């Protein structure tokens, strides 16, 4: 016998599965509404804390994604070079890492719906899409081919905060959902390359050499030698000219006082 409970269950199943052409989001919303209307208890709703932002560092213009994508794909690869070694075969050598890639798909709704919108003041779909498209096509004025934007994804186990280039942006209009704009985008990590100007390179190449450290030698004056004779021998030995003895004297005046025959002297040359 077909009971009221059977009818409720059948009606709920039809509402949940009967509009599959509208996508998973419609099925979830329709199912929740049907369960509430029929008095069927539902499980507590988990509140997703994820937020996605794009910000232009130059203009400070920002865009928060109003509807979270069902998944976010993050791709990371190690860059390797394969070398064929005799009697061993192929060997991979790490040469760095490739640029990180992040991609996701979502849509800009024409109307705010608290069930899936992250905030109430959602942007106009066309305006939001044109903002992304403008960042995708933007070029800098100082001969840098592309201008990066900052991507921030918070509230996940892998928080993202990096400069990226929007490398691919696709959109589609779906029948039965006028005004909504569905899109898919891909971002690539952006690395800044610092190029020296000619003036900077010239200054670097013509930077004066640092002053060499003084040479210290240990010498002992021979019995019977005067200080001048002692310094003359030192200058001739280290400078090649005994007439430079006064140079040795000027750098070591304090050490050339008193009885010099008792101990060796550390001379600065």
pLDDT in tens, 18-28: 444 345 455 45
Query: Mean pLDDT throughout 234-254?
Result: 84
Residue whose tokens read 């905030």: 119
180: Cα separation from own chain's centroid: 33
**Is the pTM here over 0.85, yes or no?**
no
The pLDDT score that the predictor gives to residue 139 is: 57
The pLDDT score that the predictor gives to residue 187 is: 92
Mean pLDDT is lowest, of 64-78, 130-144, 228-242, for 130-144
Mean pLDDT is lowest, of 181-185, 194-198, 220-224, 237-241, for 194-198
The pLDDT score that the predictor gives to residue 129 is: 95
Which CATH code, of 1.10.20.10, 3.30.450.40, 3.40.50.2300, 2.40.30.200, is assigned to 10-35+47-189? 2.40.30.200
More confident residue, 202 or 137: 137
Query: Mean pLDDT throughout 154-168?
Result: 88
Number of Cβ within 10 Å of residue 253's Cβ equals 8
More confident residue, 64 or 79: 64
Q: Which of 52, 1, 23, 27 is nearest to 155 (CA)?
A: 52
Considering the chain, tell me which residue range(s) the CATH 2.40.30.200 domain(s) occupy: 10-35+47-189
Mean pLDDT is lowest, of 4-8, 73-77, 182-186, 192-196, for 4-8
CA angle 15, 18, 21 (to 5 degrees): 125
The pLDDT score that the predictor gives to residue 152 is: 95
Q: What is the dihedral of CA 115, 117, 118, 122, to 10 degrees?
A: -150
């Amino acid at each position: 016998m077909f009971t009221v409970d059977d009818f409720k269950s059948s009606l709920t199943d039809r509402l949940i599965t009967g509009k599959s052409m509208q996508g998973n989001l419609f099925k979830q919303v329709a199912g929740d509404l049907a369960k509430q209307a029929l008095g069927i208890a539902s499980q507590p709703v988990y509140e997703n804390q994820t937020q996605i932002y794009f910000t232009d560092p130059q203009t400070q213009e920002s865009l928060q994604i109003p509807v979270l994508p069902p998944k976010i794909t993050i791709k990371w690869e190690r860059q390797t070079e394969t070398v064929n070694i005799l009697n061993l075969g192929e060997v991979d050598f790490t040469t760095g890492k490739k640029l990180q890639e992040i991609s996701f798909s979502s849509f800009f709704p024409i109307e705010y719906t608290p069930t899936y919108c992250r905030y109430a003041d959602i942007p106009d779909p066309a305006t939001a899409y044109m903002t992304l498209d403008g960042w995708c096509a933007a070029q800098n004025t100082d001969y840098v081919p592309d201008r990066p934007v900052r991507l921030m994804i918070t509230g996940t186990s892998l928080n993202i905060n990096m400069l990226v280039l929007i490398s691919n942006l696709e959109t589609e209009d779906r029948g039965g959902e006028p005004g909504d704009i569905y899109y898919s985008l891909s971002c690539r990590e952006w690395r800044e390359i610092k190029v020296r100007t000619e003036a900077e390179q010239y200054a670097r190449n013509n930077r004066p050499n640092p002053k060499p450290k003084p040479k210290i030698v240990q010498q002992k004056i021979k019995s019977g030698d005067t200080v001048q004779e002692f310094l003359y021998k030192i200058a001739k030995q280290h400078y090649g000219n005994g007439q430079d003895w006064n140079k040795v004297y000027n750098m070591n005046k304090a050490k050339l006082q008193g009885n010099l025959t008792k101990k060796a002297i550390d001379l600065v040359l």
